[in-house]
Structure 1
Amino acid sequence: MTTTTSLNLDTPLTIGGIELRNRFIMAPMQQYKGSPEGYATEHHVQHYSRRAKGIGLMIVESTAVSDNGRLWPNDIGIYSDRHTEMLKRVTDAVHTRDTPIFVQLSHGGRKSAPEVTDRLIAPSAIPYDESYGKPAELSISEIEALIEDYRMAARRSIMAGFDGIEVHAAHGFLIHQFLSPISNLRNDAYGGTRLGRMKFLKDTLAAIRSETGRNYPVIVRISSTDYIDGGLNPQEHAMILKSLEADGLLDGVDVSSGGLLPIQPADIHPGYQLPDAAAIKQHLQIPVIAVGKIYTRSFADRIIRDGLADAVAIGQPLLEDPDFAQKMIGLKE
C-alpha cells in the first residue's frame, strides 16, 4: 500500500462533480422520527443542520423509494412528490453551513417493516427470519416497476435539493438481496451468475443516471461480506464495482458489512471493516469510504495517509454529540 504523507482528514476530496472540503463524512443513521406517511419532520431539519458545520459531506438516513419498502414504520420516504417539501427544508438548512448533503435511497425487500408492508417481496422466496416472514418472489414486471421507483426517487432527490445520491445496497436490504448468492436463487436475467445478480443494481444505477446526468454524484453503500461461506466477500464485490465503475455508473463506494443474515461479526473493534475497504480500493479508481468505529483523528489520518480508504464516515458519535465533527477536525493529535 502506497503511503501519501501529504493526505489527511483535512485534504479536499472530489466525488463526482463536487469537491468536499474535507474527508469527514456523516454516515447515514436512522432517526426513527418520520411521520406515519413517511415525511421528514422538523426534527430532521434541526438534527442535520445542527451537525453540518465543519463536515465534508452528510448522508441522510435511509429514505424509502416505495411505501412498501420502508425499513421501519417511522422511516422517511421519497416515494411521492409531496415528500420533497420537508426534505427541501432539510437540505436548505444544511446548505446554510456550506455542507453538501446526499440522500440514501433504499428499499427493504424481505426486510421491509411488517407493520407497513402490504406485500413482502424479494428476489427469491427465502425469508430473512420468522419475524419478517416469507417474501414473494418478484416477477420481471415487478422488478421493472421497482427500478422505475428508484428513477422517480432520483428525480425527487434533485427537486429536494440533494447534492448527490447514495444507493443503499447493504445490510441485507433489497439490492443486497439481489447481489448475494445466499438470497438470490433466480435462474433468469436477474440471477444465476455474478452478472445476473448485479443486473438489478446496474439497471437501477442506469435509471438513476437517466435523471441525474453524469456529473451528479452517485455512490453506493455495500456490505463487503455476508459473514458466511458462499456469500458475498470483498473480492466478489471488487469485481462487481469495477464493472459498474467502467460503465460510468458510480462515483464512489461506502463499505460496510453484514445484514443479509442474522449473523454478527465475531469481533467489532475500531476499524473492523477497514481491511475489506482497503482490499476493494485496490481495484477501483473512484473514492472508497471506510466506516466502522473510526472515532479518533489520528486513526482517520492514518487510514487516509496510508491509502487504505479515501474518506472516513462516522455515525454514532455524531448522534451523541452534535459538535463531534468540529472537535475531531480541529483536534491535531
Structure 2
Amino acid sequence: MRLNPASTSADGGRSAAVHTPITIGSRALLNRVAFASVTTGLNGPTALSDAQREFLVRRARGGAALIVTDGLAVHPSSRPFRAVPRIEDDAHVDGYERLCVDIHAAGSVVVGQLWHVGASSLYTPEGIAWAPSATPDPLSGTVPHAMTVAEVEEVIDGYVDAARRLQSVGFDGVEVHAAHGYLPAQFLSSMSNHRTDAYGGDLRGRAAFLTAVLQGIRATCGPDFILGIKLTAHEYAPGGIELPEAQEVAAHVCEVADPDYIAVSQSRYGPSLERHSPDMSWADTPFEHLTRGIRNVVPPEVAIMALAKIPDLAVGDRLIDEGTADLIGLARPLLADADLVRRDAVGATVRPCTFCNACWAALHEQRGVECFYDPRTGHELEIADLEPEVRSAPDLVVVLGGGPAGLEAARVAATLGHRVELHEEAGYLGGRLALEARIPGRADQRRAVDWWQNELADLGVDIRLGSEPDPAALSAAALVVDARSRLPAPPVISGVDAVPVEDVLAGGLSLDEDVYLLDAVDDEPVYALAEWLAQRGHRVVLVTPRPAPARRVAMVSAFGISRRLDLAGVVVATQTAVTGTANGQLVGVRALSGRAVELGPEGTVVSAGSYRGRDPLEVPGVRIVQVGDAYVPRTLAENVREAHRVVRQALEQAGEREKK
C-alpha cells in the first residue's frame, strides 16, 4: 500500500515561490534554492578532489540554482582538518575550473565559501592557531596566538586573494563565512575579541575585520562578482553575539561593503553547538525569527537566505511568501535527495530528510559525508545512478527482512526490473527504524520508512508481513537476499534478567520505577528512550562502559543529548558495567579501576546491545547473499549502502552470465 507523503507543498504537489527565478548581483538564478555549504571531508589535503566535484555537480543537476562549496581555507593559519580544500595560493586551484564548467553546464551558479577557522582548530590541533585574542577556544581548548595588526592585514589579503583566484577560474562569487565562531565571528564577538586597537573595542571596531574583507573583495573582483556573507545572528553563548548586535553588523556592512546576499545562521562551536544543525528533536525552522530580524534591517536589494532545518520546499514557499527570506538554503535535505528541486518541480515524490544527523556523525569521524538512506551521497564516483530497467522475463528475487537493508535491497532489485517478494516476520516494515520512531523526539525516522514503502509500492514489490518462508519455498528464486534483523546478545549478569530494548520499544511491558539502561550501542534511540522514561516518572540510570555516552552520535546532536538527559534527571554512570545484585541493590564495577559501585534499588534492566548477526542460510541451487545486520550489525548507513551495492552487483553478474 502506498502511504501519503510525509510532506507536500500547499497545492499537494509542486511548490511555487521557490521555483521562481531571482537575480543575485549580476547572476540570474533559475529558482530560489541554494545548496548550502557542507564540510564533506571528501577532499585530499589540498586541492579539490574529483569526489568533491561530482558531489557538488550532482546537486546542481538535481536543480539547486546556487551551489555553495565546502569552506575553502584562505590562509595557512586556518587549520580546520586535513580533508579541506585550500585556496590560499595559486598552487591550490587545480580542479576548480572543471567544477565551474560542470556546474554551469547544469544551469546553476557556483559560489566559493571563504573560510578561516581561527581558534577553532578542532580536528588538527598541531601548529599555531591565529585569533583576535589569546582566548581559549570553548570547544577544542586551543589557546590561539593573538594576531598582530600586520597579521590581521595579511589574513584580510588572504581572503581577497582567494576571491581573485576563484574569479579567475570561473566562479560566480564567494561567500565569506562569518558564523559559527570562526575567525570573522571571533572578531565580531566580545566573548573572543578583547583587542583595544582598530579591530576591537566597540561593535564597529569588532566589525572592522569583516568590513575590510568584504570591501577588499568588492574592490578587487568588481560589482558583477557575487559577494555573500554567512552571518551569525545569535551565538547562544554567554557574552556572545545576539540578534540586536547582528542586526547592527548586517546594516553596517550593507552600507559600506555592498554585499549581494546574507545567509543567516546561528550558534558557535562550543556549548551552543547543537543549534548549528538542529536535529529531529527540534521543531522545523527553529531560528526563522533570526532570519526575519536580519531581513528587517537590510535593504531589499540584498537577498536573505534562510537556513537551519527547513524540511521541504513547501516550508520554503512560506518563508518566501511571508517576506522572511528570498533564498532557501538547504544542506541536509539535499544530502538525502540530490534531485529534490527537480522532483518537486514536477510534483514527484522526494526522499525526505529525517534530520538524524548521521551525515554529521560521518563528518566528525572524518569518514566523509553520507546519508543513511541515499547510498550515493558522498559516494557519487563509486556508485552510479540507479536507472530503471524493463525485463521481458524478470527473475524472482526474494528478500528476507523488511528493515532498512531489506527495503533498499528490494528497491534495487525491483528498479532493475526483477520480480520481488519481501518477507518480514514482524507485522510492520522498517525494523529498528520503525521501533525508534515510536519514541517522542524520534518520530521523523518514520519518514524514511514511509518513503521506502511508497517506492516499493510504486515498483510493484510483493510485501508479505508476518511471513517467514520455509527454506524449501525459496528454491524458485534466482537470488535470495538475507537482510533479517540483528539478534540481541544481552550480557549475562548474575541474578539479572535483562530485557532487550526492542521489547521495550515494541510496548506492552510493565517497567519498574527504577530503570537501568545498559548502553552498548552508543547511539540513538537509547538516549531518547532514557529521556522519555524519565519524563514519565521513572528513575533512569544510563550505564555505559565508555568515558561518556553518545560516542556514535554526531557531535552537534550529542551536545543536545547531554543537555536533555541532564534536564530530565537521568543519572549517567560512565565507565561502568553491571555485575549483579546485592542486598536489594543493583551493583556494578568501574571499568578501569575495578572499584565496586551501587547503582540503586533493583529494578528493570534494559539491554541496548550488544547484537550479533544471523547464521547463513543455505538452499541447494539458490544463490543467497547476506547483507546488513544479518551479516554483522553496523550503522544504518553502512547497512543500506552494502545492501545497495551487493544486490546490484549480484544481479548485474547474473545478467552477464546469461548473456554469455
Q: TM-score, normalized by length of structure 1?
A: 0.93
Q: Of 217, 235, 238, which aligns to 2:247? A: 238
The answer on whether the counterparts of 1:39 and 1:77 sit within 8 Å (CA) in structure 2 is yes
Which of 60, 63, 85 is 1:52 aligned to? 60
Asked whether the equivalents of residues 177 and 260 of structure 1 are also in contact (C-alpha less than 8 Å), the reply is no
* Structure 1 position 216 matched with structure 2 position 213: no
Indicate the SS of the match to 1:246: helix
CA distances 1:104-161 after superposition (whole Å, capped 9, x unpaired): 0010100135537521111011111373421111110100110111111011011221
Change (3 A) 1:56 1:130: closer
Structure 1 counterpart of 2:195, from 183, 186, 189: 186
Answer yes or no: is the 8 Å Cα contact 2:160–2:217 preserved in 1: yes
Q: Is the 8 A contact 1:254 1:288 kept in 2?
A: yes
Provide the C-alpha distance between the structure 2 equivalents of 1:70 and 1:274, rounded to a whole number of angstroms.
31
For residues 257 and 307 of structure 2, the distance between their equivalents in structure 1, rounded to whole angstroms, comes to 24
Cα pair distance change 1:243/1:235, threshold 3 Å: same
Deviations 1:46-75 (A, max 9, x none): 111111022121111111101320322211
Aligned match of 2:317 in 295, 301, 323?
301
Segment drifting more, 10-19 vs 103-112: 10-19
Distance in 1 (alpha carbons) for counterparts of 2:125 and 2:305: 32
Code of the residue aligned with 1:150 in structure 2: it is: Y
User: How far did 1:90 drift?
Assistant: 1.2
Task: Select 2:292's aligned residue among 245, 259, 278.
Answer: 278
> 2:308 corresponds to which letter in structure 1?
G
User: Which residues of 2 match residues 1-333 of structure 1 at below 5 A?
Assistant: 8-36=17-45, 38-53=46-61, 54-113=63-122, 115=124, 118-129=127-138, 131-263=140-272, 264-265=274-275, 268-285=282-299, 286-331=302-347
TM-score by length of 2: 0.48
Q: 1:248 to 1:128 in 2, by over 3 A?
A: closer
Secondary structure at the aligned position of 2:17 is classed as coil
Shift of 1:175: 0.5
Amino acid paired to 2:285: G
Q: In the TM superposition, what is the alpha-carbon distance from 1:210 to its structure 2 partner?
A: 2.2
Q: Kindly tell me: are residues 138 and 307 of structure 1, through their superposed partners in 2, closer, same or farther at Cα, counting changes over 3 Å?
A: same
| Distance 1:121-1:307 versus aligned 2 partners, 3 A rule | same
Matches of 1:77 and 1:52 in 2, distance apart? 22
Counterpart CA distance in 2 for 1:75 and 1:191 is 29
**Cα–Cα, structure 1 residues 306 and 327, in superposed 2: closer, same or farther, change >3 Å?**
same
Looking at structure 1, the residues matched to 148 and 224 of structure 2 have their Cα atoms a distance apart, in angstroms, of 33
Alpha carbons 1:124, 1:185 under 8 Å: kept: yes
Question: Which SS does the other structure have where 1:228 is aligned?
Answer: coil
Count of aligned pairs between the two proteins: 327
Equivalents in 1 of 2:257, 2:330: separation in Å? 27
- What code does the residue aligned with 1:303 have? L
C-alpha separation between the residues in 2 aligned to 1:171 and 1:227?
Answer: 10
2:282 is paired with a residue of what secondary structure? Answer: coil
How far, CA to CA, are the matches of 1:195 and 1:117 in structure 2? Answer: 33
Is the contact between residue 68 and residue 112 of structure 1 (CA under 8 Å) also seen in structure 2? no
Flag the structure with more relative contact order, 1 or 2, with Cα contacts below 8 A and sequence separation at least 6: 1
Map Cα deviations across residues 189-247 of structure 1 (whole Å, 9 max, x no partner): 10110110000000111111122112211010011111034321222111111111112
The question of whether the paired residues in 2 share the 8 Å contact of 1:220 and 1:252 is answered with: yes
In structure 1, the residue corresponding to 2:174 is in which secondary structure?
strand
Does 10-19 or 264-273 show the bigger shift? 264-273
- In structure 1, what is the Cα distance between the partners aligned to 2:157 and 2:253? 19
Contact (CA 8 Å) 1:25, 1:311: kept in 2 or not?
yes
- Asked if 1 retains the 8 angstrom alpha-carbon contact of 2:100 and 2:169, the reply is yes
Conserved 8 A contact 1:44-1:90: no
For 2:303 and 2:313, the matched residues in 1 are separated by: 20
- Aligned CA RMSD, in angstroms, stands at 2.0
Q: Please give the alpha-carbon distance, in whole angstroms, between the structure 2 residues aligned to 1:284 and 1:130.
A: 32
Could you list the per-position Cα deviations for residues 21-61 of structure 1 after superposition, in whole angstroms to 9, with x for gaps in the alignment? 1101101011102212x111110221111110221211111
Secondary structure at the aligned position of 2:209 is classed as helix
- Per the alignment, do residues 284 and 329 of structure 1 end up closer, same or farther by CA in structure 2, a change over 3 Å counting? farther
Q: Identity of aligned pairs, percent?
A: 30
CA contact (8 A) 1:226 1:261 kept: no
